[in-house]
Amino acid sequence: METRSAKRKKIARTVENDVKSVPDRISDLPDAVLHHILFLLPIKCVAQMSILSKRFKFLWTTFPDLDFTTLTNVNPFEISSNKKNIKFSKFERFLRHPLDNSTRLDFITQVLSTRDKNSDIRILCFRARLSFSRLNSLMRSAIRHNVRELDVEVDTEVFTDDYFNFPRCVIGSESLKVLKLKSGFRLPPSSVMRTGFQSLQTLSLSYVVLYNQPSLPDLFSESSFPLLRTLHLDLCLGLKYLRVGCGALQDLSLERCYQLDGLDLSCAKLERMRVIKCFDAYSDKSWARINAPKVEHLFWQHNALTDITSFEHSTNFLHEVSLGFFIPSRDNISAKLQSAINFLSGLSHVHSLTLERQTIEILSNNHLLFHPFYNLKSLELHTGFNKSNVSGLSCLFKSCPILNTLILKIINEFRIERKEWNRDLWDMTITEGEQYWESQIRTLESFLQHLKVVKIHGFLDYENEVALAKFLLKHGKALEEMILCAGYCNARDTLRRQKIRSQMMGFSWASSNAKVAFQ
């Protein structure tokens, strides 16, 4: 009779023989395929796999995608302590212990120093606290391996008294295609910057210190960046004037340049532009001149109202626009109102438009008129929906004769006074809001004949929004769907909402296909 111990040994031998009989198909794959598979894993796991076999050791020393941002202070799984190969003892120490900042930097340095001399680096990414000399050393090592994408973020919290100098070793690299550098650093003179970057296609610079060179009129030019397609500048401290004239540029992002006074943009191939939280809000001389004939997507958000002298684009390309002006006070608004009108009129051929809250307040409080949006199919408005905004909304609706989708995102704040809807079911009197909208039927005729979808977010049953919803149901001949999305409500609000719902269902609608959903 077979004992339990003998049975277990027999099963173990069977399993071992089965494993040996299965061919190692993974190791037979080409290097490029294995590199692609390993790229899906955290770099710690890739490093740990390097001690499995000679093949995987070679794959590790030639691995082209070094993303060290996945390194954390959490212990990786323990490698067996029975390994007798002394050659890996130092390497195993990095894998077996928590990776604090110092250990992480040692690990990155060792990986770069032990790479195969003939292996290029496709991607190098790391986040760390380090000195400028060590940063330069790591970058020089990457440049020697013909790095194509370099993504570096230096934690500057401990370096508050000084800033880094821009690493000059990357300027002359012929292999570098993508450079992303986030740190508190100073740019070298423009004459130095213009001598390199002939192969660069993507440039992202964050936290740039420009107090000693507040003007960049000739840096981002055709000769300096002939192949640049994507440019992202964020937190350029002290920047007053910026000119961008790269002929191949397709995507431009400019963010948090709070001291900017002048922006001169001339890019014939630009398709996407984001300018967010820029311009000196207290300057009377801030301006922007934009020549982008092929721009398709424009995001001009949370920017100080500036004197936009021109905005040139082709009417055949502009598809999506998100627009928001910021005004710190009412004192300096009158001088720049015409610029806002001209800017909006220049966007008259857009297909999808989003307007932020303060932009709507400017339009409402100053009774501004602008060129109709004859191609506009989708309109999204962020508004407090107080009484003063109603006329501005009406003006916008008149300017959208073929609008298909209307999205209202109501911003509910305690400082905004809004009148609650308190009518009973049997009360047939017309409110002030309903009277106003009824008086606009003739001027809104085309708008009401084309509108199909209405979505109101933040619907809290106040008089202005209820009056508008009822008006669109009564007169929207093409209306197919109305969605009213409410936030939290107590028992009292629930009762009032039921009354409003009953009233909306109780009168005849202009469209027999309309459906109303309360969410």
Tell me how many degrees the CA angle 204-209-214 measures, rounded to the nearest 5: 100
Task: Evaluate if residue 425 carries a pLDDT over 50.
Answer: no
CB 187 within 8 A of CB 213: yes
Q: Is 263's pLDDT higher than 80?
A: yes
Under the banding of pLDDT at 50, 70 and 90, the label for residue 15 is low
Q: How far apart are CA 111 and CA 66, in angstroms?
A: 9
Decide: residue 410, CB within 10 A, 0-12 exposed, 13-18 middle, 19+ buried: buried
Tell me the C-alpha distance between 497 and 482, whole Å: 16
Helix (H) or strand (E) holding 7: helix 4-21
Q: Which residue has the higher pLDDT, 6 or 227?
A: 227
Q: What is the C-alpha separation between 129 and 284, in angstroms, rounded?
A: 40
Cα 152 from chain centroid (whole Å) = 19
Please state the rounded mean pLDDT for residues 62-91.
56
pTM for the complete prediction? 0.82
Residue 242 contacts residue 263 (beta carbons within 8 Å): yes
pLDDT of residue 188: 84
Residue 50 or residue 220, greater confidence: 220
Question: Where are the extended beta strands (E) located within 256-351?
Answer: 262-266, 272-276, 287-291, 297-304, 307-312, 320-326
Q: Which of 315, 275, 323 is nearest to 295 (CA)?
A: 315
Tell me the Ramachandran region of residue 277: left when phi exceeds 0, alpha when psi lies from -120 to 50, beta otherwise: left
User: Using 50, 70 and 90 to split pLDDT, how confident is the model at 74?
Assistant: very low
pLDDT of residue 305: 83
Average pLDDT value over all residues in the chain: 81
Hey, which of 142-156, 361-375, 429-443 has the most confident mean pLDDT? 142-156
Q: When comparing pLDDT for 135 and 462, which is higher?
A: 135
418 phi/psi in degrees, rounded to 5 = -135, 135
460: Cβ–Cβ under 8 A, 6 or more apart, which residues?
410, 412, 486, 487, 489, 493
Q: How far apart are alpha carbons 254 and 300 in whole angstroms?
A: 10
Distance CA 142, CA 169 (A): 10
Mean pLDDT of 385-404: 87
- Condensed to tens digits (0 to 9), the pLDDT of residues 318-331 reads 899 999 987 766 55
CB 343 within 8 Å of CB 321? no
Residues β-bridged to residue 453: 405, 481
Q: Is residue 77 very low, low, confident or very high in pLDDT (cuts 50, 70, 90)?
A: very low
Residues 347-383 have pLDDT tens digits of 888 999 999 988 887 777 666 667 889 999 999 999 8
Least confident of 21-25, 151-155, 316-320: 21-25
Q: Which residues contact 237 (CB under 8 A, 6 or more apart)?
A: 207, 208, 209, 210, 211, 259
Average confidence (pLDDT) over 438-456: 93
pLDDT band per the 50, 70, 90 thresholds, residue 213: confident
| Stretch 272-288: mean pLDDT | 89
Nearest by Cα to 27 from 64, 75, 59: 59
- Looking at residue 23, the DSSP 8-state letter turns out to be -
pLDDT confidence tier of residue 405, bands split at 50, 70 and 90: very high
Query: pLDDT class for 156, splitting at 50, 70, 90?
Result: low
b/e 299-327 (16+ beta carbons within 10 angstroms → b): bbbbbbbbbbeebebeeeebebbbbbbbb
The rounded distance, in Å, linking the Cα atoms of 464 and 462 is 6
Residue 41 has pLDDT above 60, yes or no: yes
Per-residue pLDDT, 310: 67
User: Where does the pLDDT of residue 480 fall: very low under 50, low under 70, confident under 90, or very high at 90 and above?
Assistant: very high
| In contact, 141 and 117? CB cutoff 8 Å | no
Q: Percent of the chain having pLDDT more than 70?
A: 78
Q: 334: pLDDT confidence band, cut at 50, 70 and 90?
A: low
Lowest-confidence region among 70-74, 331-335, 423-427: 423-427
Inform me whether the pLDDT recorded for 242 exceeds 90. yes
Beta bridge partners of 215: 241
Q: Which residue has the higher pLDDT, 78 or 56?
A: 56
Residues 353, 328 contacting (CB under 8 angstroms): no
Distance from C-alpha of 273 to C-alpha of 288, rounded to nearest angstrom: 13
> Tens digits of per-residue pLDDT, 102-130?
777 888 888 888 887 788 999 999 988 88
* Alpha carbons 112 and 266: distance in angstroms, whole number: 41
Note the pLDDT tens digit of each residue in 169-192: 898 899 999 999 998 888 888 778
What is the rounded CA–CA span in Å between residue 77 and residue 86? 20
